[in-house]
Amino acid sequence: MLRAFGLAASLALVSAGCGSGDGTSGTSGVSGSKPLTSLTDTEKGQLCDWMVAKFGGYGTQRTCDSPLFSYPDQAACVADSPSPSHTPNCQATVAQMEACVNSLPPCPTLLDGQNSPQCVPVGGC
């Protein structure tokens, strides 16, 4: 999900308008101790919704130079989420993903994610 989940893929973001977010809370509401690869589709959707809302929402026009999380809808984000078969080396938890997302500026780029110490744990996801 740093493509919403995988930093290597492109650090998860939405086709959203750049702004300061929508005032969403600092956590998604999914248990922070859960590994990203063990989330149910419902939990992945909840995490996706939270992440995408931080940067403007699904499918809205982005004005950033290099959008990080680009998802037209929840289904696309969930499909891009870490899983034991696609990202077997992902050891990151929900709390680590939330910390990464919260560390990013309003218009994050791949470099922002790569340079954020909070995003290091989710880099292999």
How many structural domains comprise the chain? 1
Query: What's the confidence (pLDDT) of residue 62?
Result: 61
Tell me which amino acid residue 80 is: D
Q: What is the pTM of this model?
A: 0.79
CA triple 87-104-1, angle to 5 deg: 20
pLDDT, tens digit (0-9, with 9 covering 90-100), for 34-45: 999 999 999 999
- CB burial string 87-103: b at 16+ within 10 A, e below: beebebbbbbbbbbbee
pLDDT reported for residue 14: 32
Range of the domain at 14: 1-125
pLDDT value of position 23: 40
List, for the chain, all residue ranges whose pLDDT scores fall below the cut of 50: 2-4, 6-24
